[in-house]
Amino acid sequence: MATLLMVESWVQSTGLALPPLLRELGHDYILFTRDPALYPDVDGAAHPVVRDADEVIVVDTNDKAAMTGAVIGIVCRRRIDGVLTTCDYYLDAVAELGRMLGLAGASPDIMRRAVRKDAVRTVLKRAGLPQPRFATAATWEDALASATELGFPLVAKPVDLNSGTSVHLVDGEAALKDAFHEVRSVERNSRDQPLARRLLLEDVLPGPEVSVEAITVAGRTTVLGITGKSVTPTFVEAGHVFPAPLPPAVTADVTEHVRAALAAIGYSHGLSHTELRLTPSGPRIVEINPRQGGGYVFDLVRTVTGVNPLALLVDLALGRTPSLEARANGTAAVAFVLSPVDGVVTAVEGRDELAADPAVVRWQLDVPGPVRRPRDNNDRVGHVLAVDPDGDRAGELAATAVGALKLRLADGSVVAPVAI
Question: Given this model, what pLDDT does residue 325 score?
Answer: 85
How many structural domains is the chain composed of? 4
Same-domain check for residues 217 and 313 = yes
Other beta carbons within 10 Å of 72: 10
Determine the distance from the C-alpha atom of residue 394 to the mean position of all C-alpha atoms in its chain, rounded to a whole number: 21
d(CA 48, CA 196): 32
State the CATH number of the domain containing residue 79.
3.40.50.20
Task: Transcribe 284-301 into DSSP letters.
Answer: EEEEEESS--TTTHHHHH
d(CA 239, CA 61): 32
Q: Taking Cα atoms as reference points, which of 200, 216, 321, 349 lies closest to residue 274?
A: 216
> Is the Cβ–Cβ distance between 291 and 88 less than 8 Å?
yes
**How many residues are there in the chain?**
420
Full residue range of the structural domain in which residue 271 is found: 209-317
* Half-sphere exposure (Cβ direction) of 137: Cα atoms closer than 13 Å: 26
Same-domain check for residues 291 and 351 = no
State the CATH number of the domain containing residue 274.
3.30.470.20
Q: Tell me whether residue 11 is in a domain.
A: yes
Same-domain check for residues 219 and 310 = yes
Same-domain check for residues 284 and 232 = yes
Please name the amino acid found at residue 168. Answer: H
Same-domain check for residues 7 and 98 = yes
Q: Quick check: helix, strand or coil at residue 107?
A: coil
**Domain final residue, candidates 317, 347, 372:** 317
Angle at alpha carbon of residue 350, lines to 344 and 353, rounded to 5°: 155
Question: Given this model, what pLDDT does residue 86 score?
Answer: 97
d(CA 378, CA 235): 12
- Helix count and strand count (H, E) for the chain: 13, 20
Q: Tell me whether residue 64 is in a domain.
A: yes
Going residue by residue through the chain (420 aa), what tens digit of pLDDT does each one get? 999 999 999 999 999 999 999 999 999 999 999 999 999 999 899 999 999 999 999 999 999 999 999 999 999 999 999 999 999 999 999 999 999 999 999 999 999 999 999 999 999 999 999 999 999 999 999 999 999 999 999 999 999 999 889 999 999 999 999 999 999 999 999 999 999 999 999 999 999 999 999 999 999 999 999 999 999 999 999 999 999 999 999 999 999 999 999 999 999 999 999 999 999 999 999 999 999 999 999 999 999 999 999 999 999 999 999 989 878 789 999 999 999 999 999 999 999 999 999 999 999 999 999 999 999 999 999 999 999 999 999 999 999 999 999 999 999 999 999 988
Q: Tell me whether residue 360 is in a domain.
A: yes
Q: Tell me whether residue 420 is in a domain.
A: no
Same-domain check for residues 214 and 312 = yes
> Is the Cβ–Cβ distance between 129 and 260 less than 8 Å?
yes
Q: Tell me whether residue 326 is in a domain.
A: no
CA distances to 24, 116, 133, 418 from 159, in Å: 37, 6, 15, 28
The helix (H) or strand (E) run that includes residue 224 is strand 220-231
Same-domain check for residues 340 and 400 = yes
Task: Transcribe 386-414 into DSSP letters.
Answer: EEETTSS-HHHHHHHHHHT-EEEETTS-E
Question: Given this model, what pLDDT does residue 323 score?
Answer: 87
Same-domain check for residues 91 and 26 = yes
Same-domain check for residues 232 and 264 = yes
Same-domain check for residues 283 and 223 = yes
Q: Taking Cα atoms as reference points, which of 113, 20, 91 lies closest to residue 316?
A: 91
d(CA 91, CA 98): 11
Rg of the chain over CA atoms, in angstroms? 21
Q: Tell me whether residue 120 is in a domain.
A: no
Q: Tell me whether residue 323 is in a domain.
A: no
d(CA 160, CA 200): 10
**Domain final residue, candidates 145, 178, 203:** 203
Query: Which residues have a Cβ under 8 Å from the Cβ of 371 and sit 6 or more positions away?
Result: 339, 341, 342, 343, 344, 345, 379, 381, 407
d(CA 388, CA 304): 9
CA distances to 246, 321, 358, 375, 416 from 242, in Å: 11, 25, 19, 24, 25
Same-domain check for residues 198 and 226 = no
d(CA 103, CA 125): 32
pTM of the model: 0.96
Q: Tell me whether residue 399 is in a domain.
A: yes
d(CA 66, CA 97): 12
State the CATH number of the domain containing residue 186.
3.30.1490.20
State the CATH number of the domain containing residue 385.
3.90.1170.50
Same-domain check for residues 199 and 215 = no
Question: Given this model, what pLDDT does residue 319 score?
Answer: 96
**Domain final residue, candidates 183, 203, 223:** 203
d(CA 413, CA 409): 5
Contacts 24+ apart (CB under 8 A), 115-122: 115/88, 115/91, 115/160, 115/290, 116/159, 116/160, 116/196, 117/157, 117/158, 117/159, 117/160, 117/200, 117/287, 118/159, 118/198, 118/200, 119/159, 120/265, 120/285, 120/287, 120/288, 121/200, 121/202
Q: Taking Cα atoms as reference points, which of 371, 390, 373 lies closest to residue 381?
A: 371
Largest Cα span, the chain: 61
Q: Taking Cα atoms as reference points, which of 314, 296, 189, 200 lies closest to residue 242?
A: 296
Query: 154-158 and 199-203: which strand pairing?
Result: antiparallel
> Is the Cβ–Cβ distance between 106 and 269 less than 8 Å?
yes
